[in-house]
Amino acid sequence: MEGKGLEVHTFADIGKYTIFPLEHMKKIFPRKVFGTIEEDDYVKNETYGIMCREEGLRLTNELHRLTVPGERNIPYGELALWSNS
């Protein structure tokens, strides 16, 4: 587990967690953290951790390959409200 927040991940990182400092999470997710991380993780252990999954890594790499940052129009506010439940 790392406490530095976002870093460059490789396929060797699949299954590992990245732990985000609170100030970093507020910067990345100014309104709401996505899914149920707030209820399931933060309330229990006061950390924000996100697992590196193969699907997310492949999607991130593909977006990076196909676009430049200004072209990445991703509705983060909308995504933050999605849940598995």
Give the pLDDT of residue 81.
75
At 24-79, the pLDDT tens digits run 788 877 888 878 888 888 888 888 877 888 888 888 777 777 777 677 677 767 77
pLDDT exceeds cutoff 50 at 1: no
Question: At which residue do the structure tokens 């849940």 appear?
Answer: 83
pLDDT exceeds cutoff 70 at 82: yes
| Greater pLDDT, 21 or 2 | 21
Give the pLDDT of residue 83.
64
Q: What's the mean pLDDT in 7-22?
A: 79
pLDDT exceeds cutoff 80 at 84: no
